[in-house]
Structure 1
């Protein structure tokens, strides 16, 4: 039996803490599916007989599916009951993961990963739900909590994927995740409150067109979306490219060992979770500027991966702190601008996140193939510097 219907209550429904926690856990499980592949690329390439350069398309195709889902599926959260939408997407995600887990050809893998990315956008419906079910003064806190689950899912995905790959092959993690996502879908269907859509009198076509209208009229959405594209391009350059030097000389690390580096990212990302509260208090721009500066600097210790594990770990902590601090601040500022359009806002914003992640993954494998780890780090530093300069230009160009 589900929690009391939000649409049926005379007074605004306020999500209990356990429901926000459930959103966080479910978000972590769902988003992890997008990132399992990163430490497994070498194994996938060997098993399916494709080149190092070509295998990067696995991540790119997944992000392409994510981008399409952001445009076509996430805005539905402002049109239909989010309880129905979330449950349907979680069941579909379980099916897509089953296809990936049993794929025997590269083409089948790509189709499964495309569908996995498409359904993984359910995490943005969770974010929008957490914001909508929270009082105005606590929205940043709720978004930060769910984003924390997403961050943990992204970073721990590499560790889980690496460990299971060493034990049972690269397909094992996808089969396990298919089962877990199915169970979570059942739980969510039973406990989620019904959420009446703000724009339910509109048609689907009108909802999609209104996303473009929001893009034109909400300046903070445009600015923060571009920042998202650049910071997650930098993020993806690191995490897609890192597996290549660590699995080669002089380290020759196993999948599990490579996955452990995700724990360093967790430390940095968790430190950034208060960014939502800082944004609630009016410090969004200061947080963004400091974090973007740290992002640029982080690539220096990251570039030492071939000679110093300590410096690499320091760089990973700094980079993940910077990326997640900006990301949480971005969402807090966007939701504050138009809280009634949360699903459409986050969909429009996250398209740029997905575009940056996909481009970064492709750049990482292509750049490493030609110029090695130094080339990847230089590219990452230039992308990060571009983000910082863009923030400076938009910060002082008026509202």
Structure 2
């Protein structure tokens, strides 16, 4: 018997506000600078360190989901996040705030523990839809976390936002016992060092995992390259937009949030390879539109929407393909995939900023087209039967 649909929406809510913890700081960086009397570079270090800490949490905490009760692990991480968020509101120096945000970042990985668990909670015919529903919550958290902190920070101050974050975490703590059984998919105990070593082992051994990692990294890297150069490009003629207008393009992400559950339904009907291929084609069309962005603003808007939907399709397809490889190691498989995904995004952001300065819209579009074509070719060449890419209850 499957899990009620309302539970998936509740878990999506959990994922949204769990991941939002690492994005609350971004709209408030200027407030940090003014309050602590530091420059923008020092204040910006808060955002950098919380992201690095999140990556570290993926490596060191998420694999524990294959070793201990996931409900207990979530309660421990979320409890630490409540305390850290509350303590952050009393920071007296930028150094203290950075240190506390490292704790916040490392303990905000609850969504990446929930997602593999959902793939076990759902019936085989509903897994794609269930994972996609929860993923849509994750994406919504990125968007709404920034909006919420921007409003609270502007009207009540940045310290108030950390108190609000702690209160939201308390709500999530109350939700956990109601959503997850006490025996939530505990596996046989595995030594912690063995868990960490197995991350490398799975990457080397599992061809499908490597394929998912490379395709996910290239898709997210190409999308991040556009955003890495967007502020520079839109500041130039003929647009001359400021950061407020540039940031408003983020609302195009609503298209991906809305599309994600439908992508999940398609993932239940078709192979994961097909979903990734569809994402690659949409990305190719999106970067084709970006090529004309210098002359037509509507082309950029259409391009970003296509890229966001294509990126979601790629993420859902590649992540499900990775999670299908082993029921007992889904937390570790998810860790390997998401680390690769974020590494691709970080590299893409860096390269995108440099390409945009030298080659403009053409350079960003060409990079995206090349990476999208590589993703398409890799998946067209993949000739394994579709049944090997679907979830198997005995896997």
By how many angstroms is 1:320 displaced?
1.3
Q: TM-score, normalised by structure 2?
A: 0.82
Say if 1:159 and 1:260, in contact at 8 Å, map to a contact too. no
Aligned residues: 381
Alignment CA distance shift 1:317-1:22 (3 Å): same
Paired with 1:55 and 1:240, the residues of 2 have a C-alpha distance of 19
- Offset from partner CA, 1:189-231 (integer Å, 9 cap, x none): 4542123545323222222233333222221111111222222
- Offset from partner CA, 1:51-81 (integer Å, 9 cap, x none): 56x7665444333222221221111111111
By how many angstroms is 1:326 displaced?
0.5
Alignment CA distance shift 1:390-1:314 (3 Å): closer
Alignment CA distance shift 1:230-1:61 (3 Å): farther
Q: Are residue 222 (structure 1) and residue 228 (structure 2) matched?
A: no
Alignment CA distance shift 1:157-1:341 (3 Å): same
User: 1:199 matched to which residue of 2?
Assistant: 187
Say if 2:84 and 2:104, in contact at 8 Å, map to a contact too. yes
> In structure 2, which of residues 347, 363, 378 is the aligned counterpart of residue 378 of structure 1?
363
Paired with 2:46 and 2:287, the residues of 1 have a C-alpha distance of 25
Residue pairs, 1:22-33, within 5 angstroms: 22-33=10-21
Paired with 2:46 and 2:145, the residues of 1 have a C-alpha distance of 16
Say if 1:164 and 1:170, in contact at 8 Å, map to a contact too. yes
Which region of structure 1 is more displaced relative to structure 2, 141-150 or 240-249?
240-249
Paired with 2:286 and 2:40, the residues of 1 have a C-alpha distance of 30
User: 1:72 matched to which residue of 2?
Assistant: 60
Higher relative contact order (CA 8 A, sep 6+): 1
Say if 1:87 and 1:189, in contact at 8 Å, map to a contact too. no
Paired with 1:379 and 1:42, the residues of 2 have a C-alpha distance of 29
> In structure 1, which of residues 286, 289, 293 is the aligned counterpart of residue 274 of structure 2?
286
Which region of structure 1 is more displaced relative to structure 2, 318-327 or 339-348?
339-348
User: 2:389 matched to which residue of 1?
Assistant: none
> In structure 2, which of residues 27, 39, 52 is the aligned counterpart of residue 50 of structure 1?
39
Paired with 1:240 and 1:165, the residues of 2 have a C-alpha distance of 25
User: 2:345 matched to which residue of 1?
Assistant: 357
Q: Are residue 388 (structure 1) and residue 373 (structure 2) matched?
A: yes
User: 1:6 matched to which residue of 2?
Assistant: none
Which region of structure 1 is more displaced relative to structure 2, 376-385 or 198-207?
376-385
For the aligned residue pairs, the C-alpha RMSD in angstroms reads 3.4
By how many angstroms is 1:155 displaced?
2.3
Paired with 1:123 and 1:63, the residues of 2 have a C-alpha distance of 15
By how many angstroms is 1:167 displaced?
2.7
